[in-house]
Structure 1
């Protein structure tokens, strides 16, 4: 089974806070001077003047000390933030490489699947119903959201220049380029390919190669309803064990290229769907732990009505 990159949550460094400047205590300084002047007028004692001057001096000293302490705290917070942001950036850069490599391995390309099928490699028929990657198909590569997240406890009073630095790091690591675009046939229920026959043929062959190379014919069945032209293009399907598996819930031929044969195959598929809907409305699938879908049609997986202890029933894909 392919390794799956789960991702992790990184904690963002705390952005330095913009503290409101402390006002100069002018009123607190004037009040002792007025009271001291009144005391001197009554007592005529110079000592009263010393006492009235003592309070403003203490206030000025306290104001200067607090301001100096706030500057030191801000400088320390900035240094801590920048060092932790640097560490976070380095960790994310390393993790991006790991995520990129593992996500490529999670979903083999059509060429890789074909090579393993032709050479009976280790990936041949390895996906099982209990695996997270069962019925996954790789549609191509592109830009996807990273599975790593950054927990940011932003507040409104943060210093803008440092908040912007953190935002740049977060945005730079939100997406990842060149990773597989994956669809799961069980979750989606159906997969349609639009375009001219020339344009669509490559995509159809690619998906069928992946499905038949990575899934056993004991667990995946392929059926087709085609026109004579498409029948020639997909003639290779008749050599695949997935179209004639003894484990298949369908009776008779699985490949149709005429109205009569298509009617027979479609009737068989509808019969399987009806039987499984009646017997397995709440049955859950392996590790996915999800309820079975209400319908299965072309290019979708079908659920087993009753899974035997020794061998699961095959899924059908047509």
Structure 2
């Protein structure tokens, strides 16, 4: 089964293609064109298979045609508009959160624009909060990307900081621009393509997922140094300086020896000299201690900030955004089906982003005891739901948002979990069937538990009733050996 589209009209249909892999593509093209009501005799037709123009003189095998392929047919100029070579792009501008999440702009050197205009390189359909051209991105290299407002100012921020209008702001790889309720991330195309070979049975590919080694989850606890204690200023020992003079004066009068006065004068001079010396040394010592304290504190705060950045990067990687997930699924990348049923993130789904407490804590001795430990916040990190712990999750909201979020959840399960570990069921009425048609392409809906069906989709009254009966029987069978007890669910 493949999807065939007309390059001019954009209309598409699913086609069951039964042919040998060595069959000439030129013989198949007229039938593909007829499937979308395209006249193959008017002019030479070009063919695009999975985003790449292929020579019509080749075979189905050399064209890379396989089950699930997307084929575009039409005049060469029309077909060329659908051509994509993401691995050749210098950088990618990805909408990773908010409306339109999953949209990716493959960009090369030069200028790109972000705005609500149809002519914008990365279009965001939100004219109420976004100008026709809101931001201008200058791409001089993968590590030399700058961004500036198209107008005098913008509400957009880059990693939480305002984007200056006076000078272009460097946009680093991984940096995220927040604008109009969306997060746009600058990324570099991943060239680590998954290792796969054409299937011997034909029409597909054989893929062995690589081993996965999960680093242990760590927390960072740091303690700020105690500030240097303020030393009380010692007063000048006036009494100790005057008393020897009084005694020496009395002795000189009684003994008529005025050398006592000369000797006695040395005592207050020595005391005053020691006082001045100690005071200067104390000031120098306090300055050195204060400088050491500031340096030590700055180093610890810098380490805490670095730990927060590392934790945020780890959280973002462990819960891929829609654009990253699309890359994993379509190229494909080695992360396809990476989660095992024994992994802690098995059946974990990302539902959005939020500012959340991190695992970085800082102990500040300057604070009161109950306020001493401060937990730093991680900005715009994935908000996740663990299905294995929840068991049942409902999604509510207005409009079609619940359905779109449910589709996003299913997409994550299908891309990150193998069909050996997870099987998906769909129950929908006729009116809700169309938005879920894409699920029929997933290997996760092929019966793997002995069900007497082609797919585990229920989209009519009869198929829905059969799917419900299968699920009830499956639940009953699982509860019998467990004695009805509840535990951690690992998926079907």
Q: Same fold (TM over 0.5)?
A: yes
Tell me, yes or no, if the aligned pair for 1:2 and 1:107 is still in contact at 8 Å: no
1:109-128 mapped onto 2 (5 Å cutoff): 109-128=321-340
Counterpart Cα distance in 1 of 2:480 and 2:314: 40
Note if 1:18 corresponds to 2:223. no
How far apart are 1:24 and its partner, in Å?
2.9
Tell me, yes or no, if the aligned pair for 2:447 and 2:456 is still in contact at 8 Å: no
Q: Deviations over 1:117-165 (max 9, x none)?
A: 3444322211113334322222223434454444544378xxxxxxxxx
Query: Higher mean Cα deviation, 108-117 or 94-103?
Result: 94-103
* Partner SS for 2:349: strand
Task: Tell me the TM-score normalized by structure 2.
Answer: 0.45
Partner of 2:147: none
Tell me, yes or no, if the aligned pair for 1:251 and 1:268 is still in contact at 8 Å: no
How far apart are 1:189 and its partner, in Å?
4.4
Q: 1:240 to 1:34 in 2, by over 3 A?
A: same
Counterpart Cα distance in 2 of 1:215 and 1:140: 19
How far apart are 1:80 and its partner, in Å?
2.9
Tell me, yes or no, if the aligned pair for 2:423 and 2:448 is still in contact at 8 Å: no
Counterpart Cα distance in 2 of 1:251 and 1:43: 128
Tell me, yes or no, if the aligned pair for 2:425 and 2:456 is still in contact at 8 Å: yes
Tell me, yes or no, if the aligned pair for 1:40 and 1:49 is still in contact at 8 Å: yes
Query: Higher mean Cα deviation, 16-25 or 77-86?
Result: 77-86
Match for residue 405 of structure 2 among 193, 203, 225 = 203
Match for residue 69 of structure 1 among 255, 271, 281 = 281
Query: Higher mean Cα deviation, 126-135 or 7-16?
Result: 7-16
**Greater strand proportion:** 2
Q: Deviations over 1:157-186 (max 9, x none)?
A: xxxxxxxxxxxxx99x93343433333323
Q: Deviations over 1:175-229 (max 9, x none)?
A: 3434333333234444332213512111110111001111012212323454554
Note if 1:177 corresponds to 2:177. no
* Partner SS for 1:179: strand
Counterpart Cα distance in 2 of 1:2 and 1:195: 38
Tell me, yes or no, if the aligned pair for 1:113 and 1:123 is still in contact at 8 Å: no
Partner of 2:115: none
Tell me, yes or no, if the aligned pair for 2:458 and 2:467 is still in contact at 8 Å: yes
Partner of 2:445: 243
Task: Tell me the TM-score normalized by structure 1.
Answer: 0.65
Partner of 1:136: 348
Q: 1:48 to 1:245 in 2, by over 3 A?
A: farther
How far apart are 1:271 and its partner, in Å?
2.0
Partner of 1:154: 366
Note if 1:217 corresponds to 2:419. yes
1:1-318 mapped onto 2 (5 Å cutoff): 1=212, 6=218, 8-9=220-221, 12=224, 15-36=227-248, 39-40=251-252, 42-50=254-262, 52-84=264-296, 98-154=310-366, 174-247=376-449, 254-256=456-458, 260-261=465-466, 264-265=469-470, 267-268=472-473, 270-272=475-477, 274-275=479-480, 277-278=482-483, 292-293=487-488, 302-303=489-490, 315-316=491-492
Counterpart Cα distance in 2 of 1:265 and 1:23: 91
Aligned length: 273
Higher relative contact order (CA 8 A, sep 6+): 1
Gaps of 5+ in 2: 1-211
Q: 1:77 to 1:195 in 2, by over 3 A?
A: same
How far apart are 1:68 and its partner, in Å?
0.9
Q: 1:32 to 1:227 in 2, by over 3 A?
A: farther
* Partner SS for 1:28: helix
Counterpart Cα distance in 1 of 2:452 and 2:290: 72
Tell me, yes or no, if the aligned pair for 2:328 and 2:334 is still in contact at 8 Å: yes
**Greater helix proportion:** 1
* Partner SS for 1:202: helix
Q: Deviations over 1:262-301 (max 9, x none)?
A: 75255335425534643987xxxxxxxxxx44xxxxxxxx
